[in-house]
Structure 1
Amino acid sequence: MQKENRKYLTIIMFLIAVQTISPWTFVPVGTTVIWWAMNTIALIAILLIKNQFYDTSNNRNATIVFVYLTWNISSIVRGCFVAENYWEWKNLVTMGFVLLLPLTIYISTNRQMVQNIFNTYMKYILPAFFLFAVLMSRGAYGVYLIPISFTLLFLPLLTKKWRIAMLCFAILGITASFAARSNVIKFIVPFAFGLLYYLRPFVEKQILGLGRILLLGLPIVLFILGLTGQFNVFKISDYVKGEYSTQSSSGEEEDLTADTRTGLYIEVIASSIINDYVWWGRTPARGNDSVLFGAEIEAQTGTGKFERYANEVSILNVFTWTGLVGVFLYFLVFLRASYLALYTSKSWYMKILSIYVCFRWTYGWVEDFSRFDLSYIFLWIIIGMCYSSSFRNMTDGEFKYWVRGIFDIRYRKATLKRVRVIKQS
């Protein structure tokens, strides 16, 4: 990768990291216009270098990604005819950037580019954590360190030094604030999936296939059970006995079994039915009618509309902005990615990625903020890896060199040298 491109990548990654933690900082950092400019530059950069890094042989398998992206673009365009005030135009632009993140397919299918993205984070962004740690609440530690959670998937391949380092940062992300339940889950689950590598002699592909189907189908089944009143997975206190609480970053006592999601689902579904946008969505210019938060938001905006523009639950945002059509296409993206990684790959690690992608689909029904941030960008990078023929053709040995190359330039040089030899032969 050219030094000039590497410099721009470092700057973009640094700005994305700052934008990621901006909601949790004690001092104001940046403005909306600055973040819009940065997001625009990042997306334009992807389009400018796509011919250099994107292998068109992936087009056939990645068709569903482009269809989903097209639907998102059409929702953004429709939003231009829906937006009526400053706040709706602001939401349209801000969330429009989020809906354009599937564009990362143009770089995330390239082994060298993905390796450089991870390396840039480890080399420059991760050390800056110690500077930012004093400027943000403890609950944001895990948000800033979220790329570490992805390295936990490859933990058995790391050298002892980096294995210990990644585990230490992961523990910090988990223990900084137990009130941030999402951080705990996002670190523990990939760690558990990474350990599957040690169990590969005992875990057949059929078992992984069953796990894939269960994770893809579980949220839909639970949604139907909740909708029909038979079982509500969010009412934890109904099936978990005892009191579980912790202190939030503000020092208040927080109930870890509290149901904070049922009300959101009720509001989002009711709003879509009342306003007739179930199939096509309300576009990213609008949000859902909200009784829980509408009055507070209206007091701030003065729009006369009691709407919440975005929710903590990713799938609710996809539904509100792009409708059931968008949700279905979004599902197909995960379905196809997980299938390719599990059934058309040579490496066990791609199979682990398949299960992890399915988990992120499931968890998107619980939380996963829809933001232009490290978490959502790295999710799309992992999805792109699943669609990449070059990643799927890697053996476990090649994956070991690729992963270690994230941390050590010697492995990157050895990998490049081997690629040149193969091409010459």
Structure 2
Amino acid sequence: MNTDHIDKDFYIKLFVFYNILILIRGIFDLESYEDVTTLLSRGIPIALFLPFSIYIGTNLLAVSNLLRIFFYYLITFSLLLLFSSERNLFDFAHTISPIYIFILVLPYLKKKYKVVVIIVALVSFFNDLTNRSNLLNITIAILIMSSFYLKGIVVFKITKIIRSILLFFPVFFLFLGVFNVFNIFKIGDFTSSFVIEDNRGQQDLFVDSRTSIYEDVFYEIDKKNAHLFGLGGSGKTETSLIEANWGDFDVIYKEGRRGTESGMLNYIQWGGALGGLIYFLLFVKSSYLGIYNSKNWLSVMLGLWLAYKALFSFIEDALVFNIYSLFIFIPMGLCFNKKFRGLRNSQIYRYVNFIFNK
């Protein structure tokens, strides 16, 4: 594979290599039939296909083809399912998640395509008001996209500062939590509840649903003295969920919990502090290149989006082999691409609208 157009591809290769090591460890640690099926269905796709999808992001033609398929086919298919009797058979917000990237490119789109993106984003937002992550993703994407209309020296400097804050906060609060100084997930204890309700139910936006999974993972890592290299691809943790009197967690997690809702925590579970660091460095480097070493504002927006995704991975963004996870890595690939970052805004306009020329 020719990687001359990829800047700092050492970080990508390191991530791929370490994922393969995690997978190999998982193979040697197999203990049950469930371990085998989990490694085949989740471990291999996460260890191999998702990391290599960064390279898809470095190929501008491949990215344009993917976005074209999404825009013309996946949006139509998802909307038809959403308004059919089969709507409960799929996760609309995750399936339609590339819309976050289309929100960022909104300023470069022709008017008729802008209308489509805005409508789909609104449908995704209001379809399930209890989906906290989707509400936040769309809101942040809109805020980042708004910077295009304010771009200038001052806004550029503010963007750099915001990136630094987004990357600093998760590490800072992780250390505070590990040493029992302050738990950011319990912020709801100090504020009034903020409940959103729709026909699907209700959701307190400040409810703490992450402390227990962090405690489970760090307890298991500490018990097995696996701080540096983690538990491997087949690593499982004991979980307090088996004591819950709702759901079938005692059956689902009878052998232990193989993953969590947090993408970063999963890499810490499987690969230890080293695995979490390598994953985090991908966000750090790609966001840096997008913001500091680019000639177009779309790269800057993607860089800021990746910094936000780094923070969000400590809370959400569990990686599975689906389109949602794929579009976590593709923006990284774009930011690692020297040719893409070197395009002027006028060239980005032509490239983006080339996507819609079937």
TM-score norm. by structure 2 comes to 0.92
Superposed CA offset, 1:235-291 (max 9, x none): 232333245242473xx4433321111111111111110122221111121222212
Superposed CA offset, 1:7-38 (max 9, x none): xxxxxxxxxxxxxxxxxxxxxxxxxxxxxxxx
- Tell me the secondary structure at the aligned position of residue 143 of structure 1: helix
Contact 2:7 2:338 in 1 (8 A): no
2:19 aligns with 72
My pick for the range that moved more, 253-262 or 332-341, is 253-262
1:115 aligns with 64
- Tell me the secondary structure at the aligned position of residue 288 of structure 1: coil
1:83 aligns with 30
One-letter amino acid of the counterpart of residue 280, structure 1: F
- The question of 1:147 aligning with 2:98 is answered yes
One-letter amino acid of the counterpart of residue 277, structure 1: A
2:124 aligns with 173
Distance 1:204 1:182, change over 3 A: closer
Q: Percent identity?
A: 26
- The question of 1:320 aligning with 2:272 is answered no
Distance 1:398 1:163 in 2: 18
Distance 1:96 1:174 in 2: 32
- The question of 1:299 aligning with 2:246 is answered no
Distance 1:346 1:202, change over 3 A: closer
Superposed CA offset, 1:71-121 (max 9, x none): 110110111110111111122222221122111233211111111110011
- The question of 1:268 aligning with 2:217 is answered yes
- The question of 1:360 aligning with 2:312 is answered no
Distance 1:390 1:175 in 2: 37
One-letter amino acid of the counterpart of residue 24, structure 2: V
- 1:125 counterpart (74, 83, 96): 74
- The question of 1:161 aligning with 2:161 is answered no
2:39 aligns with 92
1:193 aligns with 144
- Tell me the secondary structure at the aligned position of residue 137 of structure 1: helix
Contact 2:57 2:331 in 1 (8 A): yes
Contact 1:342 1:350 in 2 (8 A): yes
Measure how far apart 1:60 and its partner are.
Answer: 5.5
- The question of 1:241 aligning with 2:241 is answered no
My pick for the range that moved more, 253-262 or 114-123, is 253-262
Measure how far apart 1:221 and its partner are.
Answer: 0.9
- Tell me the secondary structure at the aligned position of residue 183 of structure 2: coil
2:166 aligns with 215
Distance 1:188 1:243, change over 3 A: closer
Distance 1:248 1:84, change over 3 A: farther
Contact 1:141 1:172 in 2 (8 A): no
Structure 1 runs not aligned, ≥5 long: 1-50, 410-425
1:339 aligns with 288
Contact 1:96 1:284 in 2 (8 A): no
Task: Give the structure with higher Rg (CA).
Answer: 1
One-letter amino acid of the counterpart of residue 184, structure 1: L
Distance 2:30 2:214 in 1: 24
Structure 2 runs not aligned, ≥5 long: none
TM-score norm. by structure 1 comes to 0.78
Distance 1:137 1:68, change over 3 A: same
My pick for the range that moved more, 333-342 or 292-301, is 292-301
Superposed CA offset, 1:344-383 (max 9, x none): 1111111111111110000001111211111110111110
Distance 1:401 1:59 in 2: 22
- Tell me the secondary structure at the aligned position of residue 98 of structure 2: helix
- Tell me the secondary structure at the aligned position of residue 87 of structure 2: coil
- 2:329 counterpart (371, 380, 397): 380
Distance 1:177 1:139, change over 3 A: farther
Distance 2:311 2:92 in 1: 23
Distance 1:154 1:293, change over 3 A: farther
Distance 1:167 1:368 in 2: 23
- 2:154 counterpart (189, 203, 206): 203
- Tell me the secondary structure at the aligned position of residue 289 of structure 1: coil
Distance 1:178 1:138, change over 3 A: farther
Distance 1:341 1:224 in 2: 27
One-letter amino acid of the counterpart of residue 382, structure 1: P
